[in-house]
Structure formats: structure tokens, C-alpha cells
Amino acid sequence: MAIGMSPAIYKKFGIAALIMMASVFLSRLAGFFRLMVIAYIGGRSAEVDAYQVAFVIPEILNHIVASGFLSITFIPIFSRYIAANREAEGWKVFSIIFSSFGILLLLLIVIGVLFAPDIVALIARGRTEPSFRLEVIRMTRIILPAQFFFFGGGLFMAVQFAKEKFLIPALAPVIYNLGIISGGLLLGPQIGMEGFSWGVLAGAFVGNFALQFWGAKMVGLRYAPIFDISHPDLKKYIKLTLPLMLGLTLFFSMEIFMKFFGSYLPPGSIADLEYSLRTMLLLVAFFGQAVGVASYPFMARLVAENKLEALNRLLNDSLRYLSLVIPLSMLLMVLRHEIILMLFQRGKFDATATGEASLVLIFFLVGAFAFAANTIVPRAYYAMQDTLFPAIYGTLAVGLSVPLYLVGLKVLGTRGVALAASLSAIFQVFILYVFWNKRTQNTGSKDVYRAYLKIIFVSAILGLVLVGFKLTVFSEMATATFGGSLRIVLITGIVFAALMLLAGYVFRIKEIREVINRLWKRT
């Protein structure tokens, strides 16, 4: 148990983490079903490329108003009012932020709709076909208004998190994905990928806005259109949020670079990157994202209580357990072809598409543990209300990663773009953690480094053993069918679990043994 951290807080953290883990897992399953429908209807095509590029301008607007950081920047401000029994003032600040930034976002959406042709020409410079760009522009204009629903819903979710209510926010990504799926299934046969775009708009409204509005009402939402630009907490919010608006993050830059550099590759390459990336991110989301979202309110509380040692303990423990992503990544590398086949190979997604996406998946899996860790380490800075350093550092790191993408594109094509993303993720999170340790005198970081070195060594051995097992036991014919692939995945997975159990005790890997003990106690 972390020093200075009560059992009650740890229990609440466990419940919150469980809810968010279930949410992330269900949303990723829904997201995969969405991707499977996209693969079925669009396959590995230029139209799927256009659909993916259509998200770039909306993502830029989302980043400008920091919709994805609302929980990070708003929770500490709102929580302070709750702790001081001044909740009415907290709702006033909520109203000011919602009104001011909401108007700004609506203005930016109008500008985005008007100037979409010029912006698309910049972000997809490698694809000059008029039909491709017209498709991107049309779908971009459909998706853009959804950003207002993400912004408003983000604030509604933030107040629920501040009140330590996680269930309704946990439903948002699931319903959003179901909206996209419904749009694709209902409209896709008639209007192709544009049907998915209408699903984005509907899913964002229902899951991220309307439902979260109801959830916020349940915890006492009070809103009035107030524009008080002199309010000190609006200034504080801007001060905290501005670096996040202007700074470049790992995930945001990766999404942009995938589309930009992918546009210089043959048609279908952006689709290859998307299918393989989302497969890898299922692993990241289940471990990293769930823990990161659930842990942040507790990190913020520990900072408010000036319990830095407890915060470091919580961060170190989270990172040590995330090291288990490495052997799981190795397992997915071995089973890459079977997994892609089972997930996507139907309809217009043929065996050629499976082969291409499975090769790209290897290079994304190289950095899976770093993508997972990157959902947690920056939140430690945010809990201390330091958004400036991560933003400056992130922007510099993104700039330094551009040569990686250029070299990767030239040498390995689509696979090189994926490898560049992985190497960038590893570099960014490692240096950010090193700076954190120096700032806070985090002596427990040595245990984290040792855990990762030991896990990497064991994972390399596991990978070689599993490759040999798969080549010896299974024929290539078995990998060509869904049933054969499923059999390979199940049998290899059982062998992997047994080897992990053995490695945990032979190499004295505490993280593996503790996970096994916890699972054993719950059964």
C-alpha cells in the first residue's frame, strides 16, 4: 500500500479502475466491431483512406480546444470548490468555461467547414486525385460538428469524475462506437464510407453529449450562459489548458503523421496503418488507458494532500504492472496473421489485405508498452497542474521524430511509418519519466527499470519458443481459415500462459506472481 494513502482511497481507486477497464474493454470491442464492418464494406481501399483522412481537421479542432484534456485541467479546479464546500461557485466556473470555449469551438467549426478544401490539400499532399479529395472534404464536413458534442460531453464527464462517479462516463465510448457501426450498417450499402461519417455525428451526440448531460444533471449540474473573462479561475483554466492546446502530444501527432506520410504511399496504405494500429491499441487501452483515466482523480487528490511519496508509489506500481504488456505484445507478434484474419478477413478485406496489415502490426507492437505508459506518466505532471513542461517537451519530441518518419517511409514504407511511431513513443515516455524522477526524487524508479529489463529479456525468450512451437506444430494451411486460426490462437495462448507462469517463478518476476496470486484469490 502507498505510504500516506488510506485503504478507503485504494478501494475506491480499485472500483474506479475496474469500471473504466470494463468501459475501455467494451468500447474497444465495439470499436473492433466497427473496424470489422469498415473492413467488410470498404476493405483496403482508397475510400477507407479518405474516411480516415476526414478525421484530421476534426482532430485538430478537438486539440485546439483541448477537449481530450478537459478532465485533466478542469477536475482539479472543480474539486477544489467541492472540498471547500463552495460547489455553487464551482458550477459558475463550469458555466463560464462551457460558454466561452463553446462559442470559440462553434466559430472554429464554421471556419473548418468553409476552408476544408484548402486544409485537406495540405494534410494529404501525396494524394492529388480530385475524387479522393472530394470524398475527404464531404466526410470532413459531416464529422466536424461532432467536435462540439465531444467538448460539451467532456465537461459533463469531468464533473462526474470530480464527484467520483464513473459509470455513465464509462458508457460514452461504447455508445459512440455503436453509433458509427449503425451508420455504416444502415447507410454503408447505399453511400459507402459516408454512412460511417453520419454514424460518427449521431454517436457523438447520443453517447458523448446527451447521455453525459443527463449524468451531469444527476450529480447536480447547474449551468447558465455566463461570459466573465475576468474570473480568476477562467484565467487559471486557460493557463493550464493553453500549453495543451499549443503543444503536440504523442497520440495526436501520430494520427496526423499516419495520414500525412501515408498519403505518399499506394492507395490502401492508410487503411493498413489504421487496421494494425487499432489492433495494437486494444492491448494498450485495456491496460494503460483504463488505469490512466481511473488513477488521475486519485493522483490529483494526493497532490492536493501534499503526499508526493504516495503519488510516486502509485505511479511506479502502475508502470511496473504495465511491463506485462511486453510479453503480451510478443504473443501478438507471433499470432499476428491469425489475429488479423479472424478480425477482418471477410467481405472486401481479402487475404492480401490480411498479409499487409499483419506485417505492419509487428512494428506497432514494438512500442505497445510505451503507448500504454504514455497514458499514465503525463498524468502525474497534470495532477501537479503542470501542463507547460509536458507540452513543451512533447512538441520538441514530436519535431525530433519527423526524421524517423521520413527515414521509415523511405526505407520500409508503411512498416517504416509504424516503426517510427513506436520508436517515438518509447523515446518520449522514457525521457518524460526520467525528468519526473529527477524532479520528485523518485527513488522507486530503479525498481521500475529493473522490472522492464527483466521482462524484456524473458519476453525475447518466450517469443523464440512460441515461434518454434508454432512452426513445428501447425502447418501453413491451418492459418488460411478462421477455424484453423482460432485453434492456433487458443493452443498457443495456453502454451504462452503456462510459460509465463513458469517464468514468473523461475526468474522471480514479482509482477507476474502477484497478478497470478490476485487472480487465484478471486477464484
310-333 residue pLDDT tens: 888 888 888 888 888 999 999 999
Out of 110-114, 212-216, 446-450, the most confident range is 110-114
Same structural domain, 378 and 484: yes
30 located within any domain: no
Q: Rounded to two decimals, what is the model's pTM?
A: 0.81
Name the band, by pLDDT with cuts 50, 70 and 90, for residue 119: very high
Is 70 exceeded by the pLDDT of residue 269? yes
Final residue before a domain boundary, out of 228, 257, 289:
228
Same structural domain, 60 and 189: yes
Same structural domain, 407 and 284: yes
pLDDT score for 168:
84
Residue 429 Cα distances to 232, 262, 359, 422, 436, angstroms: 33, 24, 25, 11, 10
CA distance 61 to 107: 11
**Lowest-confidence segment of 72-76, 133-137, 253-257, 263-267 by average pLDDT:** 72-76
b/e map 498-516, b = 16+ CB within 10 Å = ebbeebbeeeebebbeeee
143 located within any domain: yes
Question: What's the average model confidence in pLDDT over 238-257?
Answer: 77
Alpha helices in 263-335 (DSSP H): 269-284, 290-304, 308-322, 325-334
Same structural domain, 282 and 379: yes
| Domain ranges, residue 381 | 248-523
pLDDT score for 1:
43
431 located within any domain: yes
> What one-character-per-residue DSSP string does 23-43 give?
HHHHHHHHHHHHHHHHHHHH-
Out of 65-69, 260-264, 475-479, the most confident range is 260-264
Is 90 exceeded by the pLDDT of residue 434? yes
Q: What is the pLDDT of residues 27-47, one digit of tens each?
A: 777 877 888 999 999 888 899
Q: What phi and psi values does residue 425 have, to the nearest 5 degrees? A: -65, -45
Same structural domain, 315 and 454: yes
Same structural domain, 214 and 271: no
Whether the CB-CB separation of 357 and 310 falls below 8 Å is answered with: no
38 located within any domain: no
Same structural domain, 256 and 390: yes
Same structural domain, 262 and 199: no
Question: What's the average model confidence in pLDDT over 491-517?
Answer: 79
By the 10 Å C-beta count (0-12 exposed, 13-18 middle, 19+ buried), 290 is classed as buried
Same structural domain, 361 and 410: yes
Same structural domain, 259 and 137: no
pLDDT score for 314:
86
32 located within any domain: no
Whether the CB-CB separation of 289 and 67 falls below 8 Å is answered with: no
Same structural domain, 154 and 262: no
Residue 189 Cα distances to 20, 182, 196, angstroms: 34, 12, 11
Q: What is the pLDDT of residues 130-175, one digit of tens each?
A: 999 999 999 999 999 999 999 898 889 888 877 777 778 888 888 9
Could you tell me which residues come within 8 angstroms of residue 330 by beta carbon, excluding any fewer than 6 positions away?
365, 459, 460, 462, 463, 466
CA atoms within 13 A on the CB side of 388: 4
24 located within any domain: no
CA atoms within 13 A on the CB side of 245: 15
Residue 334 Cα distances to 185, 264, 330, 356, 467, angstroms: 32, 29, 6, 15, 6
Final residue before a domain boundary, out of 176, 195, 228:
228
Is 90 exceeded by the pLDDT of residue 265? yes
Final residue before a domain boundary, out of 163, 193, 228:
228
CA distance 157 to 211: 10
Alpha helices in 366-413 (DSSP H): 368-373, 377-383, 388-412
Same structural domain, 341 and 399: yes
- In the chain, the number of structural domains is 2
17 located within any domain: no
4 located within any domain: no
Is 70 exceeded by the pLDDT of residue 23? no
